[in-house]
Amino acid sequence: MHPAFLPEKFYVARDTLAQGEKTLPKESLKDSGGHSAKLYIETQGCQMNVYDSKRLGELLVASQGVEITHDPTQADILLLNTCSVREKAQEKVFSELGRFKKLKDQKKHLIIGVGGCVASQEAEAILKRAPYVDIIFGPQTVHRLPELLNQIRLEKKAAVDVSFPEIEKFDSLPMPRAEGPTAFVTIIEGCNQYCSFCVVPYTRGIEVSRPFDDLIIEIAHLRKQGVREVTLLGQNVNAYRGKTVDGREVDLAELISVVAEIEGIERIRYTTSHPAHFSNRLALAYQEVPKLASHIHLPVQSGSDRILSLMKRNYTRAEYCSKIKTLREIRPGMSVSSDFIVGFPGETEEDFKATLSLVEDIAFDQSFSFMYSPRRGTPAERLPHPVPLLKKKQRLAILQKRLETFERRMNESMVGTCQSVLVEGPSKKDPVRLKGRTENNRVVHFEGSPEQIGHFVTVEIVKALRHSLQGNLNH
Ligand code: SAM
Ligand code: F3S
């Protein structure tokens, strides 16, 4: 029998709960002493997973009356929201599950759930290697967790749902709760690009845009709770084509211009943007919408046309550079960050040098770089001429050193300037100081007062550290 906990420890009390405009069935998970079940969520991977985990927590609080805990040893339900984009992330899942098993050995009623991209690809392997897992859900079925919890209670065997129901996910989630002055909002799910190295189209499904009006309502709701900066999220936000209630289609540029009209939303970002779909309309938004931050994350992956073509990225180096040039003509000094992959199959010294020279040409000032890792089921997995691990490590070290030089250079060039900083909260290391973010996405620490949290202040940058800045409040 599967060790599902609910019959012995918890009972389910049903009532309903009004949440914004939606009414959700509420099933409170309580023990015989009337204590709510405690939920711990661990998140791996990208911002979309962070967003999903947050919404998942809100759903279970609203619909099941659980309490969130940040201590896994206190939890009655442990959820792991996984990422399979790179090899390392996938390996981490089984080591985390090993840790969870130790907790379950001490607490028989503990429920363990695995969600996200690894769950979507490896449901069977998880059940085989980790038979103590009770629930498996995919990136598009987070909203079905209350049903899955019920299922294990009634059927006493593992509940699995890794299907791709269209957009139903967002209809079933309660309105999000703001946590501080910044918020992420997923505008499009899935990806149709099928870059040859990437597993995302297989784990997250095809592109589905959320309806335009739902997004505006969600952002206005976040604004009412004190949010001043939103980041519009998706694997390929440029493909956003949301329907309005009267059936019209809205693209990302139009969505941005309407979000900018929401009073009190002062800064807008979006990620991730695909260079091939970076339209002139979007470039023009930088002219028309001052609230659009002067920072763009535009993953290039490689500086070699040969590798870009093998990666099926659908742009050339020259096309990429020309888009950045246009953007910098519209917004001089625009900060550009990127993602890079080194050691893609067949990458020669020449190809790698082309990536290094692109770094010089663009002067990316903040980036992420990875060694290529073959992902099961992707076309690149079958390409000849794999690059040896040692070579990949060497190239990664060289690239990261170069990227760091440009990051430091940007940080140093900001010393002496005054920056508009959105204050996010107290600094972690020194709680008497505050922490905020500049328009070009740099963390700044400075002395201030708690009333400034959640507001924009002007900070003079006095010192550049490796990955952050220090400043003085400008009165
Ligand atoms: N949607 C984004 C784009 O437009 O490129 C990327 C999404 S992906 C989740 C984030 C980054 O992971 C990619 O930009 C790429 O650099 C890296 N990545 C994806 N698959 C990889 C693989 N198989 N090996 C190494 N890095 C990978
Ligand atoms: Fe992956 Fe390429 Fe889409 S990197 S998420 S297939 S844009």
Q: What pLDDT digit, counting tens, does each position of 325-343 carry?
A: 999 999 998 999 999 999 9
Give the Å distance between the CA of 48 and the centre of ligand 2: 13
In this predicted structure, the answer to whether residue 19 has a pLDDT above a threshold of 90 is no
Task: Please give the Cα distance from 268 to 257 (Å, whole number).
Answer: 10
Work out the pLDDT band at 24, boundaries 50, 70, 90. Answer: very low
Distance between CA 333 and CA 341 in Å, rounded?
A: 25
- Looking at residue 128, the DSSP 8-state letter turns out to be H
338 and 300 Cβ atoms separated by less than 8 Å = yes
Residues linked to residue 43 through DSSP beta bridges, in sequence order: 81
Among the atoms of ligand 2, which is closest to the Cα of residue 236?
A: 7
The structure tokens listed for 175 are: 């309105």
Non-local CB neighbours of 143 within 8 Å, separated by 6+ positions: 59, 168, 169, 170, 171, 172, 173
35 or 34, greater pLDDT: 35
The SS3 assignment for 324 reads: helix
For residue 466, the model assigns a pLDDT of: 85
Cα 56 from Cα 113, distance rounded (Å):
12
The pick from 49, 84, 195 for probing ligand 2's pocket by mutation, whose C-beta has the most ligand atoms within 8 angstroms, reads: 195
Name residue 421's beta-bridge partners.
Answer: 457
| Reported confidence tier of residue 32, pLDDT bands at 50, 70, 90 | low
* Phi (first) and psi of residue 241, to 5 degrees: -140, 85
Provide the CA 408 distance to its chain's centre, in angstroms: 25
Window from 3-7, 142-146, 277-281, 455-459 with minimum mean pLDDT: 3-7
Q: Is 201 in the pocket of ligand 2 (CB under 6 A)?
A: yes
Indicate whether residue 191 lines ligand 2 (CB < 6 A).
yes
Contact 10, 31 (CB under 8 A): yes
Instruction: Round to whole Å and give the CA distance between 330 and 285.
Output: 10
H/E segment holding residue 253:
helix 252-259
Give the model's confidence band at 132: pLDDT under 50 very low, under 70 low, under 90 confident, else very high.
very high
Q: Which ligand is nearest to the CA of 344?
A: 1
Residue 414 CA to ligand 1 center (angstroms) comes to 29
Which pLDDT belongs to residue 185?
95
Using DSSP's 3-state secondary structure scheme, residue 430 falls into coil
Instruction: Give me the chain's average pLDDT, please.
Output: 90
CB 304 within 8 A of CB 387: no
Q: Is pLDDT of 9 > 60?
A: no
Is 223 within 8 Å of 268 (Cβ atoms)?
no
CA dist., res. 272 & res. 300, Å (int): 11
Give the pair of three-digit tokens for residue 240: 């956003």
Contact in structure between 95 and 123 (CB atoms under 8 Å): no
Q: Is the pTM of this model over 0.85?
A: yes
- pLDDT score at 467: 87
Distance of alpha carbon 462 from alpha carbon 465, whole angstroms: 10
Residue nearest to atom 16 of ligand 1 (CA): 339
Q: What pLDDT band is residue 345 in, cutting at 50, 70 and 90?
A: very high
**Tens of pLDDT, residues 74-96:** 999 999 999 888 877 777 899 99
| Ligand 1 atom at minimal distance to the Cα of residue 299 | 5
Q: Which residue has the tokens 């997995």?
A: 381
Residue 53: band (very low, low, confident or very high) from pLDDT cuts 50, 70, 90: very high
State the average pLDDT over residues 134-141: 90
Task: Place 245 in a pLDDT band, splitting at 50, 70 and 90.
Answer: very high
CB of 368 sitting under 6 A from ligand 2: no
Helix (H, G, I), strand (E, B) or coil at 429: coil
Query: Per-residue pLDDT averaged across 226-235, rounded?
Result: 96
Reported as type and span, the H/E element at residue 426 is: strand 418-426
Mean pLDDT, to the nearest integer, of 35-48?
Answer: 89
Give the pLDDT score at 5. Answer: 32
Cβ 195 under 6 angstroms from ligand 2:
yes
The whole-number average pLDDT for the span 19-34 is 51
In tens, the pLDDT along 435-464 reads 999 999 999 999 999 999 999 999 999 999
Kindly list the protein residues whose Cβ atom lies closer than 6 A to any atom of ligand 1.
46, 85-86, 197-198, 200, 235-236, 272, 274, 299, 301, 339, 341, 370, 372-373, 375
Distance (Å, whole) CA 364 – CA 301: 12
Q: When comparing pLDDT for 171 and 469, which is higher? A: 469
Kindly give the distance from the C-alpha atom of residue 86 to the centroid of ligand 2, in angstroms, as a whole number: 13
CB atoms within 10 A of CB 402: 17
Q: Are strands 249-251 and 241-243 parallel, antiparallel or unpaired?
A: antiparallel
